[in-house]
Amino acid sequence: MGEKEIPEISPAEARQHQRSGAVLVDVREAFERATGQAEGALGVSKAELMSAPEGNLPDPGAEILLICQSGGRSMQAARALRAHGYVNVASVAGGTTRWIAEGLPITKPSGDADFYERYSRHLKLPEVGEAGQRKLEGARIVMIGAGGLGSPAAFYLAAAGSGTLVLVDDDVVDRSNLQRQILHTDERIGVAKTESARTALSALNPRVRIEKFAEHATSGNVERLLEGADVVVDGADNFATRYLLNDACVKLAKPLVYGAVHRFEGQVSVFDAGRKRGVAPCYRCLFPEPPPAEAAPNCAEAGVLGVLPGVMGLLQATEAIKLILGIGTSLAGRLLHFDALAMRFRETRLSPDPECPVCAIGKPFPGYIDYAAFCASA
Ligand SMILES: [Zn+2]
């Protein structure tokens, strides 16, 4: 005879054994257990149990019953426990699914069920998982502009569980905004955009903390607005703010997720020169001088396809999430162009300018300038 197979028992049998002293262990992940587990079960994930069996189950002679979702993982865990010297181990056939189907009692463990349910699709991704989701929850993202780019970005960042969203915009909602600025609604015309955005974002995800600043970013307040930011999202619609944000993010060593739209085309990149001097470029490495005002009309003057800031803003949100989680390859050093009419993406490599007045290695910060004058005089 070879090694004895692990016995499988039905949920009803498991319930009886539990009453006579067997230890029932739910080996699913915390987010799976959060929506309900067999009454009286000890919740220890399979990985946790395998890494320290004695810490969780001190008596190797005790009767141990393992349960998971459908019976596969619990069987694997049971075999591993047997190999560790636990002699009396069984697996519950059909798992929690069958336990529930048979009408046996379930409990919801105390703890943050909202967190586990809301983010369950993130928690299933090994690249995010509980640690990543907690990171997102602890993050502070400063969004300059609650308009065309800021709307989709803020919506998805809030949905994704970004802990604190700092919204900076001194504008009020206008009917002409609603063609693309989807945070706002017809009934909130005339309301401050930061307040309108707070209403929309809190309704989507009440866990997110919203801080509002109905201010225009200037040299005088920018460092206060960016304080504590993990990532800055540029949703500004003017060059003066863009240069100001760039300079501040280089000085304060914050990653800046840049986005811009014009008619049917958009651009997005990550400027990370503040943290990666001489390796990643800044906005000024790319555009040392602002374009002449007549060559760079804003949306109000040139028009914009309503969906375009939606596409670009979501690319910005994607980059912001990746930066916070520290996963993937960011757009630092690459400018992504989007042409909606041709439905084509194109990428340009960007190198840091060794003579850049703001981010060149060894160059002290030159100080903030009069950005409105700088952009008007171009
Ligand atoms: Zn630079």
Mean pLDDT (whole number) for 143-147: 98
| Cα–Cα nearest to 66, from 9, 113, 12, 144 | 9
Angle between the N-to-C axes of helices 150-159 and 193-204, in degrees from 0 to 180, rounded to the nearest 10: 30
Q: What are phi and psi of 96, to 5 degrees?
A: -65, -30
pLDDT at 1: 37
pLDDT at 65: 96
Find the 277 Cα to ligand 1 centroid distance in Å.
9
Find the 190 Cα to ligand 1 centroid distance in Å.
39
What is the per-residue pLDDT across 212-259, written as a single tens digit (0 to 9) for each? 999 999 999 999 999 999 999 999 989 999 999 999 999 999 999 999
- Dist. CA 128–CA 130, nearest whole Å: 7
Find the 149 Cα to ligand 1 centroid distance in Å.
23
Find the 264 Cα to ligand 1 centroid distance in Å.
28
Find the 308 Cα to ligand 1 centroid distance in Å.
27
> What letters, b where the CB count within 10 A reaches 16 and e where it falls short, cover 40-64?
ebebbbbeebbeebeeebeeeeebb
Q: What percent of the chain has pLDDT over 70?
A: 97
Find the 355 Cα to ligand 1 centroid distance in Å.
8
pLDDT for residue 93 is more than 60: yes
What's the distance, CA 19 to chain centroid?
Answer: 44
Find the 80 Cα to ligand 1 centroid distance in Å.
55
pLDDT for residue 54 is more than 80: yes
pLDDT at 2: 42
Neighbours of ion ligand 1 (CB under 5 A): 282, 284-285, 356, 359
- Dist. CA 19–CA 41, nearest whole Å: 12
Find the 56 Cα to ligand 1 centroid distance in Å.
54
pLDDT at 291: 79
Find the 226 Cα to ligand 1 centroid distance in Å.
19
Find the 337 Cα to ligand 1 centroid distance in Å.
20
Find the 282 Cα to ligand 1 centroid distance in Å.
4
What is the per-residue pLDDT across 168-200, written as a single tens digit (0 to 9) for each? 999 999 999 999 999 999 999 999 999 999 999
pLDDT for residue 378 is more than 80: no
Find the 224 Cα to ligand 1 centroid distance in Å.
22
Find the 284 Cα to ligand 1 centroid distance in Å.
5
Residues linked to residue 257 through DSSP beta bridges, in sequence order? 233, 270
CB 348 within 8 A of CB 337: yes
What is the per-residue pLDDT across 323-350, written as a single tens digit (0 to 9) for each? 999 999 999 999 999 999 999 999 999 9
Residue 20 three-state SS:
coil
Find the 322 Cα to ligand 1 centroid distance in Å.
22
> Which tokens sit at 152?
């989709």
CB 364 within 8 A of CB 292: no
CB 65 within 8 A of CB 9: yes
What is the overall mean pLDDT for the chain? 93
| Residue 331: C-alpha distances to residues 90, 192, 205, 252, 336 (Å) | 51, 32, 28, 20, 8
Find the 76 Cα to ligand 1 centroid distance in Å.
54
Residues linked to residue 116 through DSSP beta bridges, in sequence order? none
Find the 374 Cα to ligand 1 centroid distance in Å.
16
> Which tokens sit at 307?
């969906």
CB 78 within 8 A of CB 66: yes
Find the 291 Cα to ligand 1 centroid distance in Å.
17
> What letters, b where the CB count within 10 A reaches 16 and e where it falls short, cover 199-220?
ebbeeebebbebebbeeebeee
Find the 247 Cα to ligand 1 centroid distance in Å.
9
Higher pLDDT, 314 or 292: 314
Mean pLDDT (whole number) for 154-180: 97
CB 249 within 8 A of CB 256: yes
- Dist. CA 133–CA 116, nearest whole Å: 10
- Dist. CA 114–CA 133, nearest whole Å: 13
Find the 286 Cα to ligand 1 centroid distance in Å.
7
- Dist. CA 141–CA 320, nearest whole Å: 8
CB 151 within 8 A of CB 177: no
What is the per-residue pLDDT across 95-140, written as a single tens digit (0 to 9) for each? 999 999 999 999 887 678 889 889 989 998 989 998 999 999 999 9
Q: What are phi and psi of 104, to 5 degrees?
A: -80, 155
Strands 344-349 and 334-339 come out as antiparallel
CB 175 within 8 A of CB 189: yes
| Cα–Cα nearest to 308, from 256, 263, 249 | 263
pLDDT for residue 206 is more than 90: yes
Q: What is the DSSP string of 222-243?
A: HHHHTTT-SEEEE--SSHHHHH
